[in-house]
Every structure is written in C-alpha cells, then in structure tokens.
C-alpha cells in the first residue's frame, strides 16, 4: 500500500501542476527533487513564485521514513486515545509516510488561497519491523481561505468536495467539514483560518483499499473545486486597499501554520527535515497592522463575520 500511495501522490502532484500552470502566462513551476541526507526518502517540491496569477504556489510530495522522535510520539498519543492504546510511550517506533501538500497564494486579492494535503502514515515497532505496521492511517483534506467572500464560490468549493465524499460515505462530508472548522482555527483570534472544506486524520474506519480510493477521489476533486475559482477571479481589478487586506489575512494564515498546524510541527521535529519544503506553505508576503478594524458593513467586515461563525456551505 505504501508504494501505491507514493504513486498516487505523484500523480496528484503532476495533474495539479498542469492545471495551475494552465492559468499562469509568465512562469512555470520549478521542480526541485531532493534526497534526505540520511538516505531515508526523497521529495519533489514544485514551486512557482512571483508569477502574474500566483504570487506563490507550492505542490510538494514527500516520501520519507525514520524514527519517531519522543515529541512526535507524545503528540500522536495525546491526540488519539486509540493511538495511545497501540503505541507504548516507552518503546521506539519507526515510521514511513507518503504525502502530497499543496498551498496556493494567488496575486489577486479576490482569488482565494487554498490548501490541500493527502497522506498515508505507517508506524512500526523498531524492534520488530518485519511484523508489519502497528498502525496505518490516512489523513488529509482541502480548505479555502479567501480575503473577500464570494458565497457562490464557497458553495461551489464545498459542494464539489461533498460529491467526492458522498461517493464513498454520506457521513464523510458532514463529519470532515466539522473537523475542518474545528482544526483550522486561530484560537488566539477566535476565528477560523478561512471558510473551511474537509479535514480528517488517523482515518482507519474502512478497509485500506476503500480508503485509498477515497483519498484518490477527494484529492482529484480539488482541481475541479479550486482551479475554476482562480480563473474566475484572477483578472478582477483591485486597489491598494484590497491588496493590504489580503496581506493582513495572509498574516493570520501564517499564524495558524506556525502556531497550530500539526504537519508543520511534525516536520520541524523530524531530524534531517527539509525546512524549505516544510515552510513552503507560508505566503511570499504578509502584513500585520496594529489594531486593524474593518469598517462595519464593509466587504472586509463581511469576511470576518464568515470566519467567526460556521456555515453549512454545501446546502
């Protein structure tokens, strides 16, 4: 299954790069293949920055293995009681993971930022790796982070993801939508990072084959859900006011990724990790203004209302 997941994430990467490049007239993605210094895996970082359509876009694949650091093991046990029952805090474990991680920051403030991640994670007892994985799960999802709210765009994004979920389990979308709203929250600001999507982790509630096909379908749905929104908004006229608000919202995006995001934390705790690829998700530019407060009734205030409440966008 690990080898099949590796092939899956490479396929998702290639197809998304082609789709995103189809809208960008000035640049192509650079394709940076790297090997871990300890020989335990590789990655391919596809990055486009300073384009006309995309200020920064990254579509990264990593296929790595190693030994779980104590902090990583503790974090995994704390977040999931089932994991805690299967992983002994006093044992050593190895892991391997294949995943694709995507963040797109368009230049136009009216075109939304988006994120996607799909991965499969396996854990082995270091003393008996030949016995197979003690744990194996899928994780991932996709979410939308606009600076300006176009409700039809958000509904389309959610409805497209819902269709992919419903084809596998009618409970997946409502369950993963709520999980996304909860997970992607800047607790210190009492607001979600954006307008949500789907998110799941430690998913092992069905046969691995079924979950593999779900990951493929949900990962593929991102192209249909997101790329048309960029095409729709990328040429809209804007002023410095909209640009500055976009940069403020990107600052909030960076806050979540650096303070709360599990993937970022896991990557930074992994010995020999490739820092440039881990921090690819951060925007090229951001802005922090002291006590910025949008005018009541303004489009900026409307966006804040959306990220401070939860909405059933798929209706």
Helix axes 151-166, 172-183, angle to 10 degrees: 130
- Pull the structure tokens for residue 222: 């991102």
Let me know: does 205 contact 193? Beta carbons within 8 Å. Answer: no
User: Which of the following is catalytic: 115, 158, 188, 213?
Assistant: 115
How far is it, in rounded angstroms, from Cα 88 to Cα 91?
5
115 labelled catalytic? yes
Catalytic sites, residue numbers: 115
């Amino acid at each position: 299954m690990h080898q099949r997941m590796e092939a899956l994430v490479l396929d998702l990467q290639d197809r998304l790069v082609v789709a995103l490049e189809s809208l960008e007239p000035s640049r192509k993605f650079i394709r940076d293949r790297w090997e871990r210094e300890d020989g335990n895996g590789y990655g391919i970082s596809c990055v486009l920055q300073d384009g006309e359509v995309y200020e920064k876009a990254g579509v990264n694949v990593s296929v790595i293995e190693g030994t779980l650091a104590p902090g990583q093991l503790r974090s995994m046990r704390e977040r999931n009681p089932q994991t805690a029952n299967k992983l002994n805090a006093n044992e050593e474990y190895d892991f391997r993971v294949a995943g694709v991680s995507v963040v797109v920051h368009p230049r136009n403030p009216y075109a939304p930022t988006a994120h996607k991640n799909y991965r499969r994670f396996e854990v082995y007892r270091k003393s008996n790796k030949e016995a197979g994985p003690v744990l194996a799960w899928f994780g991932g999802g996709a979410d939308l982070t606009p600076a300006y709210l176009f409700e039809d765009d958000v509904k389309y994004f959610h409805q497209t993801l819902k269709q992919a979920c419903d084809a596998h389990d009618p409970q997946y979308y409502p369950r993963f939508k709520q999980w996304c709203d909860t997970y992607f929250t800047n607790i210190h600001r009492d607001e979600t990072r954006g307008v949500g999507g789907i998110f799941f982790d430690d998913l092992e509630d069905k046969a691995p084959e079924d979950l593999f096909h779900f990951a493929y379908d949900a990962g593929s749905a991102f192209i249909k859900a997101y790329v048309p929104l960029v095409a729709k908004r990328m040429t809209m006229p804007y002023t410095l006011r909209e640009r500055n608000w976009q940069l403020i919202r990107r600052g909030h995006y960076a806050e979540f990724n650096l303070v709360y995001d599990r993937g970022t934390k896991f990557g930074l705790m992994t010995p020999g990790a490739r820092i440039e690829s881990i921090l690819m998700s951060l925007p090229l530019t951001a802005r922090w203004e002291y006590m910025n407060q949008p005018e009541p009734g303004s489009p900026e205030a409307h966006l804040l209302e959306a990220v401070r409440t939860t909405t059933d966008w798929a209706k």
